[in-house]
Structure 1
Amino acid sequence: MESIEYKVVDTKGKPKGTVALDAKVFQAPVLEHLVHDVVVWQLAKRRSGTHSTLTRSMMLGGGKKPYKQKGTGNARRGSNISPLLVGGAVTFGPHPRDYKTRITKRSRLQALTSVLTEKVKESQLVVLDDLKLSRIKTKEITELLKNIGAEKGRSLILLKGNGDEGEKVIEKSSRNIAGVKTLSVSGINVYDLLYYKYLICSKEGIQALQERLERRN
């Protein structure tokens, strides 16, 4: 397996050696069209598609001609539910539909590796030697972001997702900080990686991510 060496820092932002990153994941071809397709696919899945309007056939009333054809000085009108009137029916309006599209697993994986590659190129991936807090404290996460230079951008904290107490502490400590989100390795996705500028994780977390993506290859 080809690998690249990437810097590791501690919670104070000081260098703590390097970690080997899989070149297939973090040095992959950047396929922007696939990234776009996957983001559109993700957002489409979120749409409820419950919008609905009434056409003339769906509305009650409107059968009687409101006034005679000639002699009133008004425009000709045959119904009170005409689409031309306020409160009338709608022509070609939206109706409930499913916005979901289909995209292959391979395309989703390639889009994911494309975004991760860009994170490495732009030094927006922050690998910590250890990511643990002794207690639930928002201030500690705030100081961590400041120490690693990620206080001025949205940050995504990647957790292994094993549900242990340490991860719950990190999740609760960062919950009240604007622009910060915690996400498990199993939930990593293209949209969140693009939306959040910095990807922050521990060496264990980056290893878990690589193992997950290798299984999907």
Structure 2
Amino acid sequence: MELAINNSSTKLSVSDEVFGRDFSEDLVHQVVVAYRNAGRAGTKAQKTRSEVNGTTKKSKKQKGGGARHGALTAPIFVGGGVTFAAKPRSFAQKVNRKMYRAAMSAILSELNRQGRLMVVETFDLTETKTSGMVAKLKEFDLGKRPLIVTEDASEHLYLSARNLPYVEIRDVQGLDPVALVGADTVLITTDAVKKIEEWLA
């Protein structure tokens, strides 16, 4: 298949496996959830009634004092333990390489079908200026949450977009499914397309 290059009469020939794949919602959902879970710390910890610092001596006599109870470390008391206390754990989910690559291809293919994938020859800045990035973005209709993907994103691009909310700059190596799914439009250079093809094909 071929991808149209913005402001150019030429077209870029690409692999159907990467940019023409059928969309699998279940696969994409699984990979996105697994990717986000991999970033969770999983360090939350609470104490049970047996771990709380306090005596387990019976707090008052059995009869004559209202409700009967024993230790004040019970969950019903302030300062007591927590029922079903959270413990540190890993949220990681196994996703093999074949599934991950298939999901990335499915997302890119769906973006292309929806007209949210824009290919350009080059996208770079000669100096680090936010105003320069704003002017550059105005040349394209990218929506509120654009994702710019280049083969090897320069420092000028990263720093110029740093103060712009919702504008993301990624190189091919740093591309992930969450960034692709969350973008209104993905602007990608021809060199980046070729590198992605080598990676996913």
Does TM, normalized by the shorter one, top 0.5? yes
Alignment of 1:88-99 (within 5 A): 88-99=80-91
Secondary structure of 1:153's aligned partner? coil
Q: In structure 2, what is the Cα distance between the partners aligned to 1:50 and 1:114?
A: 33
Match of 2:166 among 157, 174, 179: 179
Find the counterpart in structure 1 of residue 29 from structure 2. Answer: 36
Deviation at 1:141, TM superposition (A): 2.1
Shifted more, 41-50 versus 129-138: the winner is 129-138
Q: In structure 2, what is the Cα distance between the partners aligned to 1:6 and 1:119?
A: 12
TM-score (norm 1): 0.87
Q: In structure 2, what is the Cα distance between the partners aligned to 1:16 and 1:177?
A: 31
TM-score (norm 2): 0.93
The answer for unaligned runs of 5 or more in structure 2 is none
Confirm or deny that 1:48 pairs with 2:37. Answer: no
Deviation digits for residues 75-134 of structure 1 (CA, Å, limit 9, x no counterpart):
111011111112211121110111111111111111111100011011111111221222
Contact map agreement 1:124 1:198 (CA 8 A) in 2: yes
The change in CA–CA distance for 1:16 and 1:139 in structure 2 (over 3 A counts) is farther
Q: In structure 2, what is the Cα distance between the partners aligned to 1:80 and 1:62?
A: 8
Alignment of 1:77-116 (within 5 A): 77-116=69-108
Query: Counterpart of 2:60 in structure 1: which amino acid?
Result: Y
Secondary structure of 2:2's aligned partner? strand
Deviation at 1:181, TM superposition (A): 1.1
CA RMSD of aligned residues (A): 1.5
User: What percent identity do the matched residue pairs reach?
Assistant: 28
Confirm or deny that 1:155 pairs with 2:152. Answer: no
Deviation digits for residues 170-213 of structure 1 (CA, Å, limit 9, x no counterpart):
22211211111111111211111001121112111211211222
Contact map agreement 2:123 2:150 (CA 8 A) in 1: no
| Segments ≥4 residues shifted beyond 6 Å | none
Deviation at 1:147, TM superposition (A): 2.0
The answer for unaligned runs of 5 or more in structure 1 is none
